[in-house]
Chains A and B, each alone.
Chain A
Amino acid sequence: MDLRFTPEENAFRQDVRAFLKGALPEAIRKKMVEGRSLSKDDIVTWQRILNQKGWAVPHWAKEWGGTGWTPVQQHIYQEEREMLPAPDPLPFGVNMVGPVIIAFGSEAQKKRFLPRIANIDDWWAQGFSEPGSGSDLASLKTSAKREGDHYIVNGQKTWTTLAQYANWIFCLVRTDPAAKKQEGISFLLIDMKSKGITVRPIQTIDGGREVNEVFFDDVRVPVENLVGQENKGWDYAKFLLGNERTGIARVGISKERVRRLKELAALERVGDKPLIEDPAFRAKIAAIEVELKALEMTLLRVVADERSRKSNRPNPASSILKIKGSEIQQSITELALEIVGPYALPYERDDRGLLRNEPSDGPEWAAPIAPTYFNYRKVSIYGGSNEIQKNIIAKAVLGL
C-alpha cells in the first residue's frame, strides 16, 4: 500500500500541465473560469488542438487513436484538464458512442466514424431519454420498423444536449414491440440531416438553451447504421452507461471551482472585511473541501483498482462517485450564490453563449452565478438521477 503518486506519475502530470496550459486559448479559459457557456466553435477548436496532440481520445484502443495510458495517467490527464480549467472533449462522441462502436460496431462503422469523432468532424448527440421514459429508460417507445434495407424511425427523444449543433445522433429505438421491454431495443446511428427530423429547443430555468426535443417522422435509416445486433441495444446502452466510472466524479472541476470561490470571496466585502475572512463563511468552504477530498480519495481508490481488475464489474465504491460528485458541484454553486449577494439578481439574457456589448450591472463576474446555480440542479438528475443511483447501490452492492 503506497498512497502517493510515483515520481513517473508526477512527471507525467507536469508534462500534461505544461502542454495544456500552453495550448488552451485564453478566451476559452476565461469563459471556463467565469462559468460562461462555450460556443460550438470553442469546443471544436479545443478538441482539435487535443486531437492534433493525440490526446482527444486517450482511453480508446490504441489502433483507433488511444494513448495506452494507465488508468492513473488518464485520471491525471482529466484532472489537469479540469483544473486548468479546459473544456472536455465532446462526451457524446468520445465517451459514449465512440467506445460503443469500438466494442460492438462493424469494421466499416469504425473506419467511417471513429476518426471523425476524435477530430469532432461529426458532432454527436445522445438520443436516449423520451418524454415518457426518464428513469425507466427501457420503456422507450421510439420505433424502428425494418423496410427492406432501411429502418423507418418514428417517435420523440428529449433532453438532447446540444442537438442544435449535431449532425449525428445515436438512438435507442424499439425494434421488437412484442418482446420484454429490455429485449426489443436496438442501437441506431442516425444522420441528423435525414428527412423527417425536427429539433426544437427547450429553454431551461437558467435561461439557457442547451437541451432540445428531437422528433422523428418516418425517418429512413440505412440498416448499415445498426450497431451490433438487432434487439441487443439495451446491452450496448448498459455498456455505455457503465463505461464512465470515474470521470463522473468531476473532482478536478470542483477543485477549480473551490479555488474560484475563494477568489470571489476575497473580492466581496462584508462590513469592512473581505468575506473570505469571516470564520463562518470559511468554515462553509472548508466543509466542501472535506467532502471533495474524501471524494478524491474514493476516486483514486477506484482508479487504482481499475488497473488490477479482471472482471468488468465496477468497484462498489465507484457507485458513490456520481452521487457525491453531483452534490459537491451543486453545493459549490450554492456558495457562489451566497458570495455574490444582491448582484445575483441582474439577469443578463445573453449570458449563456453570447457576448454582450454593454457593461454588466454588477461586478463583472457576478452575472453567470445565479443562472449557474439554477442550471446545476441538473447534475443530480441527468445520467441516472441520484435516487436511481441509490436504487442501484441498494440492489447491486448491498443486496437489498
Chain B
Amino acid sequence: MDFELSEEQRLLKESVQRLLADRYGFEARQRYMAEPEGWSRQVWRQYAELGLLGLPFEEKYGGFGGGPVETMIVMEAFGRALALEPLFATVILGGGLIRLGGSAAQQQALLPKIADGSLLLAFGHVERQSRFDLFDVATTAKKDGAGYVLDGAKSVVLHGDTADKLIVSARVAGARRDKSGVGLFLVDAKANGMSRRGYPTVDGLRAAEIQLSNVRVGADGVIGEAGNALPLIERAVDIAIAALSAEAVGAMAAMHELTVEYLKTRKQFGVPIGAFQVLQHRAVDMFVALEQARSMAYFATMMAEETNAIERRKAISAAKVQIGRSVKLVGQQAIQLHGGIGMTMEYKVGHYFKRATMIDTLYGDADHHLAELARLGGLVSRA
C-alpha cells in the first residue's frame, strides 16, 4: 500500500505539468479552440515528443509500457489544463481497444502511428437509443465474403470529426439489446458510405454524428471476435472511465483552488468573504467531495486492469458514482461562491464546471452506475 509516485512517475507528472503550464494558458486555450479542428496540432506533436501518445502501449510499438497510474497522472494534468486535444479518444479509447483486443498485425499497423502522433482514432459506439447500455447496438454488420458490410448510425462520437479511422461497434447477430452478437470494426474515415457531421460540444471539445451506409470492412478490419466483442468493449470502457475520473479530479482540484483563492481576495462588507463561516463550510464541503473523488479515482486506477470482470465493473461503477456526485457539488458551489464572475465565459471556473459536468454524462452517469453497482450486489459481501 503505497500512494507515493515512483521516481519515473514523478518525472512524468512534472514534465506533463510543465508542458501544459507552458502551452495551456486561458488565452492559448481559446486560440486552440478557434482552430479549424478545435484543438492544436502543434501541441499534439509535443505530446508525441513527450511520449504521452504511446503511454499505455508496449515498447515494441513505440510505447512506454505505462499502466493505469501513468494514465491517471496524465489525465489529471489534462483535467487541470482543460486540454482540448483528442488524447482520450485516440490513445485511451481507440488505442485501448486495439491494445486489448487487436490482432498482432493490427497492433503493429496502428499503435506506432498513434504513438508518433500521425494517426487519430475515435470510438463510435453510442447510438441514439442506447443511452448508457454498452450492449445496446442497432447498427448492423452483415457478412460479405471474408468481410462485413455496416449500416447504421453512431451518436456523439468524441473527436469523431478529426479521426483518421473509427472503431465502430455493430451487430453481427441477435436482437438490439442482446449481450452477444456485437462486433468491432475498424473503418477508414474516408471509406465509401461513411458520412460524419462534426460539432463543438458544450465543454469546448468536439464530437461528431456518424452515418454508415453500406460501408465495407475487410477481414483485416475486424477487431477481436466479431460476435463477442462486448467483454472487450467493457474492458476498454472501464479503463476509459478510470482515466475520466482522474481528469475530473484535475478539474475539481482546479475549481476548488480557484474558489478558495477567490474567497481570500474578494472583499464585501469590508472583509474577505472567506471570513464568513457559511462560505468557509461550503468550501470545506467542496474539499471533502474533492478528496473523496480523488480516493475513488485511485480506486478506479487500482482496479482498471483487474482480471475479474465483475469485481472490475463494480469498482469502476462505484468510482463513477462518486465522481458524478462530487462533480455536481464542487462544480455548482464553485460557481455559487464566485457569484456573478463565475457565470461569465471570460473567467476560467465555468469552463472547468462544464467539462467536469460532461464527464458525468460520459459512459454512464452517477445514477446509471449506482443502479449497476446495486444490481451486481454492491461492494460489501453479505457472507
A162 → B minimal CB distance (Å): 30
With contact pairs A289-B318, A290-B373, A400-B280 given, residues A1 and B5 touching in the complex (Cβ less than 8 Å): yes
**B260 and A279 contacting across the interface, CB-CB below 8 Å:** no
B-facing mask of A54-80, CB < 8 A → 1, else 0? 000000000000000000100000000
Q: Can you name the residue of chain B whose Cβ is closest to the Cβ of A280?
A: B374
Q: Which residues of B contact A259 (CB under 8 A)?
A: 380-383
Measured CB to CB, the closest approach of chain A to B365, in angstroms, equals: 13
Chain B residue with the shortest CB-CB distance to A281 = B374
A244-293 contacts to B, CB under 8 A, are: 255, 258-259, 262-263, 266, 279, 282-283, 285-287, 289-293
Q: Chain A nearest CB: distance from B279 CB in Å?
A: 8
Query: CB distance B382 to A308 under 8 Å?
Result: no
Pull 21 A–B residue pairs with CB atoms less than 8 Å apart, ordered by A: A1-B5, A3-B302, A5-B1, A258-B378, A259-B380, A262-B382, A266-B382, A282-B375, A285-B374, A292-B379, A294-B295, A297-B298, A301-B295, A320-B292, A390-B281, A390-B284, A391-B281, A393-B287, A394-B277, A394-B284, A400-B263
User: Which A residues lie within 8 Å of B318 (CB)?
Assistant: 286, 289-290, 293
Give the distance in Å from the alpha carbon of A234 to the alpha carbon of B373 in the complex.
Answer: 47
**Contact assessment for A301 and B302 in the assembled complex, using a CB-CB cutoff below 8 Å:** no
Q: Does B288 contact A (CB under 8 A)?
A: yes
| Identity of the chain B residue whose Cβ is nearest the Cβ of A266 in the assembled complex | B382
Question: Given A9-B1, A391-B280, do A279 and B6 touch, yes or no (CB 8 Å)?
Answer: no
Interfacial chain B residues near A241, Cβ < 8 Å: none
* Contact A304:B291 (CB < 8 A) given known A258-B380, A289-B379: no
| Residue interface bits B251-288, CB-to-A below 8 A is 1, else 0 | 00000000010011000000000110100110111011
A297–B299 CB distance below 8 A: yes
Given contacts A297-B295, A300-B1, A304-B2, contact A287 B321 (CB under 8 A): yes
Cβ of A310 to closest chain B Cβ, rounded Å: 14
Between B69, B274, B301, B318, the greatest number of chain A beta carbons within 10 A of the residue's beta carbon is seen for: B318
The smallest beta-carbon distance between A341 and chain B, in angstroms, is 20
**Contact of A283 with B374 in the complex, beta carbons under 8 Å:** yes
Contact with A along B282-319 (1 / 0, CB 8 A): 01110110011101101101100000000000000010
Closest B residue to A256 by CB, please name it.
Answer: B380
Known: A72-B1, A286-B378. 10 other contacts (CB 8 A): A3-B299, A262-B378, A285-B378, A287-B321, A292-B380, A298-B291, A301-B3, A305-B3, A320-B288, A399-B260
The reply to whether the CB of B371 lies closer than 8 angstroms to some CB of chain A is: yes
B residues in contact with A287, CB < 8 Å: 321, 370
8 A Cβ contacts from A302-338 to B: 303-305, 308, 317, 320, 323-324
CB of A4 closer than 8 Å to a CB of B: yes
Q: Does A397 contact B (CB under 8 A)?
A: yes
Q: Which of B147-190 contact A (CB under 8 A)?
A: none
When A and B form their complex, which 10 residue pairs have the shortest distance between CB atoms, in order from nearest? A297-B295, A282-B374, A394-B280, A3-B302, A286-B374, A294-B292, A400-B274, A390-B284, A258-B380, A262-B382
State whether the Cβ of B9 lies closer than 8 Å to any Cβ in chain A: yes
Is B27 close to A, CB under 8 A?
A: no
B296 to chain A, nearest CB (A): 5
Task: List the B side residues contacting A279 at CB < 8 Å.
Answer: 371, 374-375
Contacts of A255 in B (CB 8 A): 380
The bracket for how many chain B residues form the interface is 35 or more
B1: which of A2, A292, A399 is its contact (CB, 8 Å)? A2
Binding site for A on B (CB under 8 A): 1-6, 9, 69, 260, 263-264, 274-275, 277, 280-281, 283-285, 287-288, 291-293, 295-296, 298-299, 301-302, 318, 321-322, 370-371, 373-375, 378-383
Nearest residue in A to B274 (C-beta to C-beta)? A400
Most buried by A among B9, B69, B280: B280
Q: How far is the CB of B360 from chain A (nearest CB, A)?
A: 14
Q: Which residues of B contact A298 (CB under 8 A)?
A: 291-292, 295
Interface centre among B3, B274, B277, B383 (most CB of A within 10 A): B3
**With A262-B380, A262-B382, A400-B260 as contacts: A291 and B292 at CB distance below 8 Å:** yes
Residues of A within 8 A of B (CB): 1-6, 9, 72, 255, 258-259, 262-263, 266, 279, 282-283, 285-287, 289-298, 300-301, 303-305, 308, 317, 320, 323-324, 387, 390-391, 393-394, 397-400
Assess A293 versus B1: contact at CB under 8 Å? Given A283-B370, A298-B292, A320-B288. no
Cβ-defined contact, B274 with A1, below 8 A: no
* Least CB distance, A178 to chain B, in whole angstroms: 31
B328 CB to closest chain A CB (Å) equals 14
B347 shortest CB reach to chain A, Å:
21
Q: Which residue of A lies closest to B2 (CB)?
A: A2
Q: In the bound complex, what is the Cα–Cα distance between A286 and B313 (angstroms)?
A: 14
Residue contact A3 to B380, C-beta cutoff 8 Å: no
Cα of A297 to Cα of B302 in the assembled complex, Å? 11
Distance of A92 from chain B, by nearest CB (Å): 28
Q: Are B371 and A283 in contact (CB under 8 A)?
A: yes
Please, which residues of chain A bring their CB within 8 A of the CB of B378? 258, 262, 282, 285-286, 289
Q: Which residues of B contact A323 (CB under 8 A)?
A: 288
Q: Cβ of A290: which chain B residues have Cβ within 8 Å of it?
A: 296, 318, 321-322, 370, 373, 379
* Chain A, Cβ-Cβ closest to B315: A293
Q: How far is the CB of B263 from chain A (nearest CB, A)?
A: 6
Provide the bound-state CA to CA distance between A97 and B164, in Å: 68
Identify the interface centre among B4, B69, B287, B378: most chain A CB within 10 Å of its CB. Answer: B378
Closest beta carbon of chain A to B325's beta carbon, Å: 8
Shortest Cβ gap from A294 to chain B (Å): 4
Q: Give the residues in chain A near B375, CB-CB below 8 Å.
A: 279, 282
Residues of A within 8 A of B374 (CB): 279, 282-283, 285-286
Which residues from chain B contact A317 at a C-beta distance below 8 Å? Answer: 291
Partner of B287 from A295, A297, A320 at Cβ < 8 Å: A320
Task: Report whether B281 and A387 are in contact in the complex, using a CB–CB cutoff of 8 Å.
Answer: yes
* Residues on B with beta carbons closer than 8 Å to the beta carbon of A308: 4
Q: How many angstroms between the C-alpha atoms of A293 and B325 in the bound complex?
A: 14
Contact check, A400 vs B283: say whether CB atoms are below 8 A apart: yes
Among A4, A291, A308, A323, max chain B CB count under 10 A is at A291
With known contacts A4-B302, A259-B381, A297–B281 Cβ distance under 8 A = no
A300, B322: Cα distance in complex, Å: 17
The residues of A that contact B287 with a CB separation of less than 8 Å are 320, 393, 397-398
Shortest CB distance B6–A (Å): 6
User: Please, which residue of chain A has its CB at the minimum distance from the CB of B256?
Assistant: A398
Alpha-carbon separation in the docked complex, A82 to B70 (Å): 35
Chain A hits for B4, CB < 8 A: 1, 304, 308
Which residues on the B side are within 8 Å of A258 (C-beta)? 378, 380
Q: Which residues from A are CB-within-8-Å of B274? A: 400
Closest Cβ of chain B: how far from A52's Cβ, in Å? 29
Residues of B contacting A398 in the complex (Cβ-Cβ under 8 angstroms): 260, 280, 283-284, 287
